Structure 1
Amino acid sequence: MKPRVLFAAAAVALAASAAAGLPAVQASAAPTNPAGRSASEAPASSPVGAADGNLSSTALSSWETDGTVWAIAYANGVVYVGGQFSNALPPGTPAGTTTGEVSRTYLAAFNSTTGALITSFDPTITGSASYPGVYALAVSPDGKTLYVGGTFDHVNGVARDDLAAFNLSTGALTSWAPPANGKVNTIALSPNGSEIYVGGSFYKLGIPLTSRTYAGAVDTSGNIQPWAPVLNNAVTSIAVTPDDSQVLVGGYFQTINGVSQNAAGAVDPSTGTKTEPWNANIVPYNPPSCTSAVKDIVISNGTAYIAAEGTGGGCFDGDFAVSLSLSSGDNLVWQNTCLGATQALVVINGWLFKGSHAHDCDFSPGGFPTVTGGVGHHLLDQSLADGTLGHWTPDTSGNPLGPRAMATDGSRLFLGGDFTTVNGKNQEGFAIFPPKPDSVYPSNPRTAPTVSSTSSGTVTVSFPAVSSADVGTLNYEIFRDGGKTPIATLTATSWPWALPVLQYQDTNLTPGSAHTYTYAATDGTHLTARSPSSASVTVASTNPAHTYNQTVLNDNPSFFWQLNDSGSTAADSSPHGFNGSYTGGTTQGVPGPMSGSTATSFNGSSGNVVSQNTVVGPQTFSIELWFKTTTNTGGKLIGLGNSQSGMSSNYDRHIYMMNDGQLVFGIWNNQTETIETPDVYNDGQWHHVVATYDATNTTGPNMALYLDGHLIGTATSSSAQAYTGYWRVGGDNLNGWNLDPWGGNSQGTTEPYSYYFTGSIADVAVYPSALSAAQVLAHYAAALYQGG
């Protein structure tokens, strides 16, 4: 499979559009009326400056550890961290430096607000077994006792077999001393604190030492309890529902009480031998190629959020949500299939925060493609409702994985792991992310605006959005000729991997005058530096000579479907009579891209407009259409396929959208030959796309992709696949066109997630020639002018 061809154009012009058309109105500051704004703005998913969970992406300069933190617990203004470390280090200490270190063996405490080391809490934990350390922490519901588990044999010189407890008022070791004869990975308490559930790789537990394979429970005196689920492999996570009706277990097992159920499930809280109905058995176990295990479980408002780590390329590494109900069963709510082992989860202020090394979310709606080098986003957040990715994107180093544990006091995020830096600054093992406000600026614009004068007295200014590490929606101020006051303010929502393109029409300018433009971004508090200046543009003195439709017809299309019909036939507006047919899943008469025009919407599962007759696949052609969508599941906008219905077996010469909103133009030549946009176009605005190919051009790139009048990129293909087919709008097969280098995943999801497009399409034209850049810009300019 050929690697994806990316061309980061200087900027991409965005169609000046809204539901009512493409207005060309006078420049004004901060346009807010969608029907009358002169700029395309990505829909704002949150107010300008709002951060998911009100959480900063900047970590405090707190004390650190000199090794991996595997467990975190919070109580009474103190954060307790356990792991495999020997010392606490002052803030900002580089990894490997011993200056200022303070001995803390496997367990330490820090002030939750400042990150300062708590000097009064200094237990000594030792162990002679392999990989000694603390791997589990839990605080009693009354906040008085800290329970500790791991691999150790003494605490403060007193014998303790892998379990211990501390009085949090005094810091003293308590008499609680149930033994475990193997590693303890997780500890959870019943809502009233009377039962302490323990999971790990042990075979015996409690007082008296009793057979308990991988999981068991003791009371506050350490006495063994009846709870004894039968599991066939180690347990890594346990969580108890707030109503004490279910105990969730996760780990490396494949059966629970004899029921085939890989890695996660629920049992009763009394004996553990009753397996609750679990309709979310999605974690794969297909050795040796693909096995996944559960690493963390958190419960919030009746839903469990579960983290998975897979082994084997493409094996399930993401997370999923399960609604918890004894009456209707525990049912899958959503699943996020990002690749890159998910280690830790926590819910803060209505958002799910995630620690992983996610390097590929191509297969998740709205997700990002493979990160160059395979090292991805170690910290992300997700919607509780559907698991889609949010905007909180700080990062840690991965040594090798990065985050390993998370906890919260309700407003702060406490992070532990094997990282040595956070956001590029020295911060080893432990970090605190406080609530906003903070000092985080959006990234500085690096791209000069693209400018063109498409009609008399008007300049079209376009530029890609930037992103912030904790704010999704930003304002963009546009400046003319270096002025101090912005001529307009636009609003857009972005992610680091999904940057929409904004456009503004500066009108009532003097024909023949010359201007330059810059822009800056702000989250309402912090204003970036201005972008590089655009090239100088001379204001046109004439308007397009023809309407959009006439401009298209003047370039002699093979067919022109305006998709403004009311019947079952898509009428060809060219002289060639090459009509199409509407299928189910389409809705006619929706607002179109130009003032007074209409379009057809497609439902994303079956909607098609298909040519009534076949054509021999052309070796020279152009494809043109307008589209509008907010989909995060991608889909094919148009393409040639050898089947008039269902899925074609031969298919190429197509334009399709990726899950994140990027567009791809592709030709099949015994391999995929593609051009992919660097920016995204699922912003709810009308966009104009043109793809051209000319096999007779053997001296240079012969594939080209244009968005909103401007060239995005080029590629080369010696030929396109030879077959006879139908032109299909709205969807067709895309199997084999996944541009993800991992090639797939264990869940069988595709990239794009849907082969059918959800959104509106209008003015579809196919030409027997490769349109020139000047012709493409003329079509776009005619549409902009007609929109006024």
Structure 2
Amino acid sequence: MLAMLFVLPAAPASADGAPPLSTTPERTVGFDGLVYTSVHVGDTVYLGGNFTHAFADGQTVKRKRLAAVDARTGKLLPWAPALDGTVLAVTANGKNLYVTGEFTKVNEQPRARLAAVDLSTGAVGSLKPALNGFGHAVEVSGGRLYVGGRFTAVNGRAARSLAAIRLADGTVDTGFTAGTDGKVLALAAAGNRLYVGGAFKKLAGADGTARLGALKLADGKVDTTFKPGTPYPTFGLTATKDRVFAALAGAGGRVAAYRPDGGLAWTSVTDGDVQAITQLDGTIYAGGHFTTACTQPSQIATSWCKKAMQRKQSKMAAWDAATGKLLGWDPRSNGKWGVLTMKADMRQGLTVGGDFTAFGTQDQKRFARFLICRYGCPTR
């Protein structure tokens, strides 16, 4: 580890001249339960969790585990499908929102932990693959819906916590046989790879793939050129063609950046699990239940952070994507479990979900929006 201490001002995050992000959330809807997952689709943010009501314009409104918010205004939209169990992951493609989690019904129709919901109407789609355990991650690429979690079968066919569904007809891709020996918690498609993260020891039986590995999108086989040897469980992923950024647990927690061959570009230590991660114009944003972060990165996967290099960083932080330098962005979130989902959009900024109820002195229950300050950020 590096021994030099740099004291950074508490300024908005900005890497390499990118527009900074506000540290003060915009007013928006709140929820009565945890927000676990989110996705941007145009000017709408779709949210999933274990909530049953939203707080909007002084009213309490029913929203059973799914909701939609106008990303421009923060207003709750009328879209309101109803599920009977927790939603843990969502993604979107075409006209559908793909949803997985712990539910067994959508709009009173049977759907065993995986479903498609119309983005405009909220109507449940015809997709009916049945998971015999929970789903925790979904990703769409190349006409297939990939789902990961903790299950042993899909539609009665053996599947070890990972499966592929053909979107054209909703059938299980029986040629996709990759599986894991533990939970899959994160999926991210980039370039010609599907990155798979979680709490497993091996991906498709391959060495060097513990907790994070890659599959070739072309054939679903393990890409043996990517062997990061990640030492801690992976909770979240975001990827480009030349970098994979991971939200990790471990002794405390950390953010890690990997090269295409799996080599560690940098890692930054926190004092609690990092559970969500996203990127915006050269900056990595991550959240979890940490309260401090190390001011300098390391190139050692299991490094520690000296006390003199720790900075108070409540549940969220930002890093320069190229160097791993901790930036001066701290919205001061509260909460026990902290931040569980983060999604970035070049027009709308950053949306965040979790169990928080305030940022600094501003109340904001379990969902927040942070805008890009194109002409300078206001101070608190």
User: Aligned residue for 1:60?
Assistant: 26
Report how far residue 441 of structure 1 moved: 2.0
Q: How does 1:87-236 map to 2 (within 5 A)?
A: 87-90=53-56, 100-119=59-78, 121-126=79-84, 132-140=85-93, 142=94, 144-190=95-141, 192=142, 194-205=143-154, 208-220=155-167, 221-225=169-173, 226-236=175-185
Q: CA deviation at 1:174?
A: 1.3
Structure with bigger gyration radius: 1
1:199 match: secondary structure? strand
Q: Which residue of 2 aligns with 1:240?
A: 189
Mapped partners of 2:210, 2:361: distance in 1: 38
Q: Distance in 1 between matches of 2:234 and 2:12?
A: 32
1:263–1:425 distance in 2 versus 1, CA, 3 Å:
same
Alignment partners' CA distance in 2, 1:406 and 1:71: 8
TM-score by length of 2: 0.87
What's the counterpart of residue 586 of structure 1?
Answer: none
Task: Number of aligned residue pairs: give it.
Answer: 360
**1:402 is aligned to 2:338:** yes
Q: Deviation of residue 168 (structure 1)? A: 1.7
After superposition, the C-alpha distances for 1:158-188 in whole angstroms (9 at most, x for unaligned) are 1101011122233322111211111110000
Residue 280 (structure 1) aligned with residue 228 (structure 2): yes
Give the CA deviation at 1:278: 2.7
Q: Where in structure 2 are the equivalents of 1:339-738 lying within 5 Å? A: 339-362=271-294, 364-365=296-297, 369=307, 376-398=313-335, 400-411=336-347, 412-436=349-373, 437=375, 440-441=378-379
Distance 1:231 1:354 in 2: 26
- Of 255, 258, 263 in structure 1, the residue corresponding to residue 202 of structure 2 is 255
* Counterparts of 1:170 and 1:114, CA distance in 2: 20
Cα displacement (A) at 1:387: 1.1
Are the equivalent residues in 2 in contact too, given 1:82–1:106 (CA < 8 A)? yes
Alpha-carbon distance between aligned partners in 2 of 1:76 and 1:169, rounded to the nearest angstrom: 12
Alignment partner for residue 73 of structure 1, among 39, 62, 71? 39
1:732-771 counterparts in 2 under 5 A? none
CA distance 1:438–1:160, change in 2 (3 Å): farther
Distance 1:360 1:55, change over 3 A: closer
Counterpart Cα distance in 1 of 2:295 and 2:346: 31
Structure 1 stretches lacking a partner, 5+ long: 1-41, 92-98, 127-131, 284-291, 443-788
Question: Contact 2:12 / 2:20 at 8 angstroms: preserved in 1?
Answer: no
Deviation for aligned residue 1:375: 7.7
The answer (yes or no) to whether the contact 1:214–1:233 under 8 Å persists in 2 is yes
Quote how far apart the aligned CAs of 1:396 are: 1.0
Counterparts of 2:211 and 2:133, CA distance in 1: 20
Unaligned runs of 5+ in 2: 1-7, 299-304
Instruction: Tell me if the contact between 1:357 and 1:375 (Cα under 8 Å) persists in the aligned partners.
Output: no
The DSSP-based 3-state class of the residue aligned with 1:259 is coil
Q: Matched residues in 2 for 1:47 and 1:402: separation?
A: 20
Distance 1:358 1:259 in 2: 32
TM superposition shift of 1:378:
1.2
C-alpha separation between the residues in 1 aligned to 2:137 and 2:149?
A: 7
Q: 1:439 to 1:275 in 2, by over 3 A?
A: closer
CA distance in 2, matches of 1:200, 1:305: 20
Q: What's the C-alpha RMSD, in Å, of the aligned pairs?
A: 2.8
CA distance in 2, matches of 1:124, 1:370: 49
Q: 1:47 to 1:122 in 2, by over 3 A?
A: closer
Q: Distance in 2 between matches of 1:363 and 1:62?
A: 31
| 1:425/1:80 CA distance change after superposition, 3 Å | same
- State the alpha-carbon separation in 1 of the partners of residues 227 and 267 from structure 2: 13
Secondary structure of 2:249's counterpart equals strand
- Render the CA deviation track for 1:409-454: whole Å, top value 9, x for unaligned: 2241010101111233111111111111576327xxxxxxxxxxxx
Asked if the contact 1:61/1:115 (under 8 Å) is kept, the reply is yes
Work out the CA distance in 2 between the residues paired with 1:385 and 1:51.
13
Partner of 1:269: 217
In structure 1, what is the Cα distance between the partners aligned to 2:327 and 2:62? Answer: 39
Which one-letter code corresponds to 1:269 in the other structure?
L
Equivalent pair of 1:345/1:353 in contact (CA under 8 Å): yes
Say if 1:199 and 1:214, in contact at 8 Å, map to a contact too. Answer: yes
CA contact (8 A) 1:52 1:391 kept: no
Per-residue Cα deviation, 1:284-343 (whole angstroms, up to 9, x for no partner)? xxxxxxxx3100010134211011012xxxx1510111122xxxx332211112222101
Q: Say if 1:184 and 1:202, in contact at 8 Å, map to a contact too.
A: yes
Whole-angstrom CA distance in 2 between matches of 1:432 and 1:184: 26
- Render the CA deviation track for 1:603-634: whole Å, top value 9, x for unaligned: xxxxxxxxxxxxxxxxxxxxxxxxxxxxxxxx
Partner of 1:335: 267
Paired letter, 1:210: R
User: Matched residues in 2 for 1:383 and 1:276: separation?
Assistant: 28
Distance 1:172 1:123 in 2: 7
- 1:198–1:53: structure 2 CA closer, same or farther, 3 Å change rule? farther
Tell me, in whole angstroms, the C-alpha distance in 1 between the residues paired with 2:295 and 2:59: 46
Q: What is the DSSP-based 3-state SS (H/G/I as helix, E as strand, rest coil) of the residue aligned with 1:184? A: strand
CA distance in 1, matches of 2:22, 2:70: 18
**Partners of 1:302 and 1:109 in 2: CA distance:** 32
2:249 to 293, 299, 309: 309
SS at match of 2:59: coil
Task: Tell me by how many angstroms 1:149 deviates.
Answer: 0.6
- d(CA) in 1 for partners of 2:239, 2:128: 28
Secondary structure of the structure 1 residue equivalent to 2:271: coil
> Relative to 1, partners in 2 of residues 1:196 and 1:426: Cα closer, same or farther, differing over 3 Å?
same
Give the superposition deviation at 1:368: 8.3
The CA distance in 1 between the partners of 2:309 and 2:32, in whole Å, is 29
Cα distance between partner residues in 2 of 1:365 and 1:87: 41
Shift of 1:122: 0.9
Contact map agreement 1:180 1:202 (CA 8 A) in 2: yes
